[in-house]
């Protein structure tokens, strides 16, 4: 076993280096798109923090999901966050799979450009929606009598711009319609549905998205309408974006079974070198975002 590791680790390292060269080339062409998407994540957080100043606690609204799903309680509120963290981290790891697996259908940079486009459009609609009408938050810290339900007027612009991170993100109120957690969840699941290769994982991902929806309602973090609106809005946004942006290239090499290490060092290295030279010669212009 030690001999196998000593022999194969250099192969894996060469593959990671070759893939890094390709991704850096793509990054040099698409960094503006990535940067704009990342900046918009901050702007979305800023808008969500701003609406907290407008939030006014009140009686919890009548909700069908609350009627059918028992309240989990404060001590089990972590369940939805735990599942969301699993979904988020799993997607990030999958997006990095070209660095380690031979069955590589995607480019990491291009996948994240597309994901950030989905997120930005969905979040623009979300900001317009929750600033249009502020509902009384159903979460425990947003209810009447809680000191966190209302924010005192900001003393300076810096206080607003810093978003009181991370406290302001965890204990926000007012940004209800529609659920930000479901935006990320559905974007990740839809992206894997389109560009992933494992059918069982796709099916499991959709099941987890449904479970995540139910846990959010049972945790009283959102009303049922927030979840329902997220489901159809994100899917329509993804359909719209996919029709406006060029399709991402399928870079599969004919293998559907991933292998952590190259099966043939000569063949696999030559493929990576050939692909890298295509980028360097400018023939990759057709796959930029």
Q: Could you read off the pLDDT of 124-173 as tens digits, one per residue? A: 999 999 999 999 999 999 998 888 888 888 887 887 788 776 666 678 89
**Using 50, 70 and 90 to split pLDDT, how confident is the model at 6?**
low
**Using 50, 70 and 90 to split pLDDT, how confident is the model at 261?**
very low
Look up residue 246 and give its two tokens. 């060029």
CA-based nearest residue to 219, from 84, 63, 72, 82: 72
The CA distance from 160 to 76, in Å, is 30
- Read off the pTM: 0.82
Catalytic residue among 44, 52, 55, 181: 181
| For residues 204-226, average pLDDT | 96
CA-based nearest residue to 94, from 183, 16, 192, 193: 192
222 included as an active-site residue = yes
| Crossing angle between the packed helical segments 265-280 and 2-52, to the nearest 10 degrees | 40
| For residues 69-73, average pLDDT | 91
Catalytic residue among 222, 269, 277, 286: 222
Catalytic residue among 3, 63, 226, 286: 226
| For residues 213-240, average pLDDT | 96
Cα Rg of the chain (Å, integer): 22
181 included as an active-site residue = yes
267 included as an active-site residue = no
CA-based nearest residue to 60, from 134, 137, 118: 137
Q: Is the predicted pLDDT of residue 282 greater than 50, yes or no?
A: no
**Using 50, 70 and 90 to split pLDDT, how confident is the model at 252?**
low
Dihedral over Cα of 1, 98, 197, 284: its sign: negative
Q: Which of 10-19, 187-196, 205-214 has the lowest mean pLDDT?
A: 10-19
């Amino acid at each position: 076993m030690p001999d196998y590791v000593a022999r194969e680790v250099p192969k894996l390292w060469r593959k990671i280096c070759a893939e890094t060269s390709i991704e850096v080339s793509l990054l040099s062409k698409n960094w503006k798109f990535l940067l704009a998407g990342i900046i918009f994540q901050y702007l979305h957080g800023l808008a969500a923090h701003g609406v907290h100043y407008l939030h006014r606690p009140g009686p919890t609204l009548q909700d069908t999901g609350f009627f059918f799903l028992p309240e989990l309680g404060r001590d089990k509120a972590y369940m939805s966050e735990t599942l969301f963290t699993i979904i988020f981290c799993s997607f990030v790891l999958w997006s990095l799979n070209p660095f380690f697996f031979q069955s590589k259908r995607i480019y990491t940079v291009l996948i994240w450009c597309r994901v950030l486009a989905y997120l930005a459009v969905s979040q623009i609609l979300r900001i317009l929606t929750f600033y249009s009408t502020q509902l009384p938050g159903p979460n425990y810290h947003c209810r009447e009598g809680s000191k966190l339900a209302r924010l005192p007027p900001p003393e300076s612009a810096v206080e607003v711009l810093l978003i009181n991170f991370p406290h302001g993100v965890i204990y926000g109120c007012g940004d209800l319609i529609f659920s930000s957690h479901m935006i990320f969840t559905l974007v990740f699941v839809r992206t894997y549905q389109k560009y992933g290769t494992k059918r069982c994982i796709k099916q499991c991902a959709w099941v987890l998205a449904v479970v995540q929806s139910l846990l959010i309602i049972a945790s009283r973090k959102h009303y049922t309408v927030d979840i329902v609106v997220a489901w159809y809005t994100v899917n329509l946004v993804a359909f719209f974006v996919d029709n406006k942006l060029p399709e991402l290239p399928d870079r599969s090499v004919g293998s559907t079974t991933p292998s952590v290490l190259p099966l043939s060092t000569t063949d696999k290295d030559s493929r990576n070198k050939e692909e890298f030279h295509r980028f360097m010669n400018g023939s990759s212009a057709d796959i930029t975002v």
